[in-house]
Amino acid sequence: MLRKIVILGAGKSTSYMLDYLLEKSVEENLHLTICDLLPETLPDKIKKHKACSILKLDIFNEADRSNAIKASDIVISMLPAHLHIIVAKDCIAHKKHLVTASYVSDQIQALDTQAKENGLIFMNEIGLDPGIDHMSAMQAIDQIREKGGKMILFESFTGGLVAPESDNNLWNYKFTWNPRNVVLAGQGGAAMFFQEGTYKYIPYHKLFRRTEFLDVEGYGKFEVYANRDSLKYREAYGLQNALTLYRGTMRRVGFSKAWNMFVQMGMTDDSYTIEHSEGMSYREFANLFLPYSPTDSVELKMRHYLKIDQDDIMWDKLKELNLFDANKKIFLKNATPAQVLQKILEDSWTLGDQDKDMIVMYHKFGYKLNGKKEQIDSNMVVLGEDRTHTAMAKTVGLPVAIATLFILNKKITTPGVQIPIKKEVYGPILEELKKFGIHFKEYKVPYLGYNPDFVSGQ
């Protein structure tokens, strides 16, 4: 009997997911219905595949959306996270399983009882981060506990970066995911974590001046800044008694110090709109945040404001973005500073056709075993193939596809709203991911506890 998968949204992260499911379509008896507002952007090999139907769908068209979901056996939502709830309610109404790569919202969590009553699996956070981070962490933590170890430290870091061979700008960075999320990173409250038994808070205006440094064998040195809330998984991971719980975002060394210039200028602010932004040049945008002077240039005022010299690498990084170009126009109406900054950065940081990206994930597990403190570090590096088949698409899309197939095949059976932290889920998925080069290398290291590299102003 033909098994029907409805996929809502066919954006950047779906290339590997679609390839995986279509390659399995004959042996697994699958048919995919891909629903998107702009289906014409899909590659011909997808549109012409005999196991695939393409449907132009406005997600806000209630009847069309409901009919598409009703005709499926399972739904994959790759829509923006705030739209999952309308899909989830349709899945409850039509008794369909649901898979997403997004964080579980309070609205989705509120459907847990109904999902269980209907025997439905609502699998969330099954992408990269969140996703592979959960599964790899829980596998290691469970193994430590099975040996009798008691967890006292867990740190986890992930970065979507540019691959070394495509790293050709002073920022050592290009967009591999939603640029807006990069520009707004860290906003909305202080970063919170637990370190050596003490709560720590970093306000947004200090976030990018507090970094931890990591070395990844074969790939060099990286820096980390704290994620907004590291404590939300304390209960899920069973780490209520851990002394340290810290999650962060990885970048190449020097990125955070440079990004902090935008924060201090106010260019990442998304709370107000700029009058007549559509006719503004990049240079005029830069001048918005600087004091008036009848004599000083925009460049001189900015160097003075940021306290940097013209031979400072920080200054070269700003110039590389064409920030002072009087001819480049913004062409965004009623834009916020953050939206304008995103537009400027996209000009310089968008992956080229042959560019490759890189995903790096790094975990630290500290535990006490037989009265002795021990530590295991593990890391994963995945390189993309090109602008379409990116490492980001691979590490987000493949776990989604694999989980979907395992739910159809009843390898995953526990109903309810959930994230992939049970052995029933993470075991087979991590094993399948190894076939695609997604795996972790483990190293036993001396237990350090508090990391001396985690300092202010570095």
> pLDDT per residue over 335-357, tens digit each?
999 999 999 999 999 999 889 99
Between CA 121 and CA 417 the distance in angstroms is 7
- Mean of pLDDT values over 119-137: 96
SS3 letters across the chain: CCEEEEEECCCHHHHHHHHHHHHCHHHHCEEEEEEECCHHHCCHHHHCCCCEEEEECCCCCHHHHHHHHHCCCEEEECCCHHHHHHHHHHHHHHCCEEEECCCCCHHHHCCHHHHHHCCCEEECCCEECCEHHHHHHHHHHHHHHHCCCEEEEEEEEEEEEECHHHCCCCCCCCECCCHHHHHCCCCCCCEEEEECCEEEEECHHHHCCEEEEEEECCCEEEEEEECCECHHHCCCCCCCCCCEEEEEEEEECCHHHHHHHHHHHCCCCCCCCCCCHHHCEHHHHHHHCCCCCCCCCHHHHHHHHHCCCCCCHHHHHHHHCCCCCCCCECCCCCCCHHHHHHHHHHHHHECCCCCCEEEEEEEEEEEEECCEEEEEEEEEEEECCCCCCCHHHHHHHHHHHHHHHHHHCCCCCCCEEECCCCHHHHHHHHHHHHCCCCCCEEEEECCCCCCCCCEECC
For residue 257, give both structure tokens: 């110090």
Share of the chain above pLDDT 70, in %: 98
126 contacts 101 by C-beta, under 8 angstroms: yes
175 contacts 346 by C-beta, under 8 angstroms: yes
In the predicted model, is pLDDT for residue 196 greater than 60? yes
The pLDDT of residue 388 is 87
Share of the chain above pLDDT 90, in %: 88
Backbone angles phi, psi at 243, to 5 degrees: -80, -30
In the predicted model, is pLDDT for residue 389 greater than 70? yes
Question: Model confidence over 230-266: pLDDT tens digits?
Answer: 888 899 899 999 999 999 999 999 999 999 999 999 9
Between CA 85 and CA 447 the distance in angstroms is 43
- Measured at the CA of 279, the angle between CA 275 and CA 280, to 5 degrees, comes to 75
The two beta strands, 244-252 and 150-162, are parallel
In the predicted model, is pLDDT for residue 448 greater than 80? no
The pLDDT of residue 455 is 40
In the predicted model, is pLDDT for residue 452 greater than 60? no
- How many CB atoms lie under 10 A from the CB of residue 350? 12
- Mean of pLDDT values over 106-113: 96
Residue 442, CB half-sphere, CA atoms under 13 Å: how many? 11
Q: Which residues contact 436 (CB under 8 A, 6 or more apart)?
A: 16, 394, 398
The pLDDT of residue 458 is 31
Band of the pLDDT at 177, cuts 50, 70, 90? Answer: confident
pTM for the predicted model, two decimal places: 0.91
Question: Model confidence over 50-95: pLDDT tens digits?
Answer: 999 999 999 999 999 999 999 999 999 999 999 999 999 999 999 9
Question: Model confidence over 32-53: pLDDT tens digits?
Answer: 999 999 888 888 899 899 999 9
Band of the pLDDT at 457, cuts 50, 70, 90? Answer: very low
Band of the pLDDT at 185, cuts 50, 70, 90? Answer: very high
Where exactly are the structural domains of the chain?
3-124, 273-335
Backbone angles phi, psi at 339, to 5 degrees: -65, -40
Residue 22, CB half-sphere, CA atoms under 13 Å: how many? 18
- Mean of pLDDT values over 154-170: 96
Average pLDDT in the chain: 93
Domain with residues 3-124, CATH architecture: 3-Layer(aba) Sandwich (3.40)
In the predicted model, is pLDDT for residue 454 greater than 50? no
The pLDDT of residue 453 is 46
The pLDDT of residue 450 is 55
